[in-house]
Chain A
Amino acid sequence: MLAVDMAGETIRALNGSMVAYEGQMTFKRQGMTGGEGLRGAIRRRVAGESITLMEVTGHGTVYLAQEATEVTLVQLAGDTLFVESDSLLALDGQLQTGVQFIGLRGMGTGQGLATTKVEGYGTVALLSDGPAIALEVTPGVPLCVDPHAYVGHRGQLQQDIVTDVNWRTVMGQGSGESVQFRYQGHGLVYVQPAERGGMLEI
């Protein structure tokens, strides 16, 4: 659960994630465009990376939670965080959100072809099934991640897909770990200690 102390500012949070509040709060569901303008809304619709956020404004403390999962706070200082849309709980009002097309990345894992981009200055609250683990990537030390356990990443990272698909995979004799994301460069990758159910066994 996340407690946010507010003194008149605005935050954005996942629709329906408020479990309690003290003080004076107003909740406003964001319109169709979700603060990203009409073009942003169209991109999001096309990408299937839908999130429904609400604006919370007021004085006091608001408590946010979702499915009793763990919350990780990430501080952004002008850099960009990429996160799965279903792992986003709340963010500071000043942060910008958008959709980033990734390419073939989400194929078969049910995560779509795009990811949500958060940039600016402020705090982002991430949801994860079990506490998230932050893994460093430095030049010469790449990291491979199971797509089902991926939560988000930040920094100057190149992402590519490592496939180990061979005739055995086709015959249903695969290793079950045939597709991984590989990150190279300089940054941080967040993973969760659980695997989301995918549509496709890979």
Chain B
Amino acid sequence: MQTFNPATLPANDNVNPYAFCVDLNGQWFTQKGKMIAYYGQIRFEALSAGPLDQLVAASFHSPLYAHDWIVAQGQGKLLLADRAFDVNSYDLDAGNLTIRAANLLAFEPGLELKQSIIPGFLTLIGTGRFVAASNGPVHFVEPPIRVDPQALLGWADCPSPCHHYDHSYMRGVLGAARMLFGVGGSSGEEHQFDFTGQGTVLLQSSEVVADSDTMLRDLEGQISSLGAPGLTRLQSVISQRLAAERS
């Protein structure tokens, strides 16, 4: 069995398909809990740490996700992995790429992180390297394409997707019955993301996504813009849903 030490570990490359080694000399943003081991002098700081203010102001523009991210700083070899998923690194050269928030493991401060319009996704803009995980190998496809929301890993250079619903799903007697009873005939493929324009779409080879409360936090973040009438209406919708769930 092959063994590794700081000299034989790859620099900014994969150790095996499931683990990535960062040759740290300075600072990298990493998602919490993705570090599996390290050699050298490395400290992990929460983004709220005072000395990081300048770095965070320059590179991290997502208060919603700030709690999930930390900064690794120092010198050494840092090993990253995620749920034994496939791990790959990508280079951006004055580009932009949007990726599922839970699948982004780490990025260089040369990149700026922003929240995507699509809930649960983050956009990286600038020049630098980032590391992302996928369940199974990544496939690169070109629009026009419709993809399953769970299989979508991210997209680069093309406009944000729109929702596509299968028309016959919502129509007719069967559709109404499905709405009422929630049973029968559903293939689970009535909803897709529709991409058009020039660019590249990244797909993973499965529909496994991490349990994350990003959707919930996204919704919570938008509540403040509703006002009293909106909140009242939302409350009644939620209590109706809750009653339906309980019965």
CB < 8 Å neighbour of A194 from B2, B35, B46, B83: B83
B18 at the interface (CB under 8 A from A): yes
Assembly CA distance A81 to B53 (angstroms): 44
Write the nearest CB–CB distance from A56 to chain B, whole angstroms. 24
A42 to B32, CA, bound (A): 38
Interface positions of B from 1 to 56, Cβ below 8 Å from A? 1-6, 15-16, 18-19, 32-39, 42-46, 48-49
A136 pairs with B44, CB closer than 8 A: no
| Nearest-CB residue, chain B, relative to A135 | B4
B3 and A188 contacting across the interface, CB-CB below 8 Å? yes
- Expressed in whole angstroms, the Cα–Cα distance for A146 and B35 within the complex equals 7
Neighbouring A residues of B67 by C-beta, 8 Å: 173
Complex interface: chain B residues within 8 A of A142 (CB):
39
Cα–Cα, bound, A193→B16 (Å):
9
Interchain Cβ contacts within 8 Å, total number: 103
Complex Cα gap A168–B81 (Å)? 25
A175 vs B34: C-alpha distance when bound (angstroms)? 11
Chain A residue total in the interface (Cβ 8 A): 34
For the complex formed, measure the closest distance between the CB of B77 and the CB atoms of chain A, giving whole angstroms: 9
B124 at the interface (CB under 8 A from A): no
A159-202 vs B, CB cutoff 8 Å, 1 = contact: the mask equals 00000100010000111111000000000110111110000000
Inter-chain contact A130/B37, CB cutoff 8 Å: no
Shortest C-beta distance, A2 to chain B (Å), equals: 14
A72 touches B36 (CB 8 A): no
Q: How far, in whole Å, are A135 and B37 apart by their CA atoms in the complex?
A: 9
| Cα–Cα distance between A85 and B245 once the two chains are bound (Å) | 41
Which B residues lie within 8 Å of A175 (CB)?
A: 32, 44-46, 70
Q: Which of A73, A143, A178 has a CB less than 8 Å from the CB of B37?
A: A143
Smallest beta-carbon distance A133→chain B, Å: 6
B48 & A168 in contact (Cβ 8 Å cutoff):
yes
A168 and B70 contact, Cβ closer than 8 Å, known pairs A144-B38, A189-B37: no
Q: Do residues A134 and B32 form an inter-chain contact, with CB atoms below 8 A?
A: no
> Which among A188, A192, A194 has the highest number of chain B CB atoms within 10 Å?
A194
The reply to whether B39 and A143 form a contact with Cβ atoms under 8 Å apart is yes
Cβ of A18 under 8 Å from chain B: no
- In the complex, the chain B residue whose C-beta lies closest to that of A136 is B5
A191 touches B48 (CB 8 A): no
Contact A149 B4 (CB under 8 A): no
> Are A174 and B46 interface neighbours, CB within 8 A?
yes
Q: Flag whether A141 is at the interface (Cβ < 8 A).
A: yes
A138 at the interface (CB under 8 A from B): yes
With A144-B37, A168-B49, A193-B81 as contacts: A177 and B2 at CB distance below 8 Å:
no
Which of A73, A144, A175, A191 has most B Cβ within 10 Å?
A175
- Cα-based distance from A10 to B171 in the complex (angstroms): 65
A43 at the interface (CB under 8 A from B): no
Q: Does A86 interact with chain B (Cβ within 8 Å)?
A: no
Chain A residues 122-168 with CB under 8 Å of chain B are 129-131, 133-136, 138, 141-146, 148-149, 164, 168
Decide if B81 touches A149 in the complex (CB within 8 Å). Answer: yes
User: What is the distance, in angstroms, from B208's C-beta to the closest C-beta of chain A?
Assistant: 13
CA distance in complex: A72, B2 (Å): 11
Contact of A136 among B3, B19, B36, B70 (CB under 8 A): B3
User: Are A164 and B36 neighbours in the complex by a CB distance under 8 Å?
Assistant: no
Q: Pull 20 A–B residue pairs with CB atoms less than 8 Å apart, ordered by A.
A: A73-B1, A133-B4, A133-B79, A134-B1, A135-B39, A141-B6, A143-B38, A144-B42, A145-B37, A146-B37, A168-B49, A175-B46, A176-B70, A177-B35, A188-B3, A191-B36, A193-B81, A194-B82, A195-B36, A195-B83
Given contacts A174-B46, A189-B37, A195-B36, 8 further A-B contacts (CB under 8 A): A135-B3, A143-B39, A144-B37, A149-B81, A176-B33, A177-B33, A193-B81, A194-B83
- B-binding residues in A (CB < 8 A): 72-74, 129-131, 133-136, 138, 141-146, 148-149, 164, 168, 173-178, 188-189, 191-195
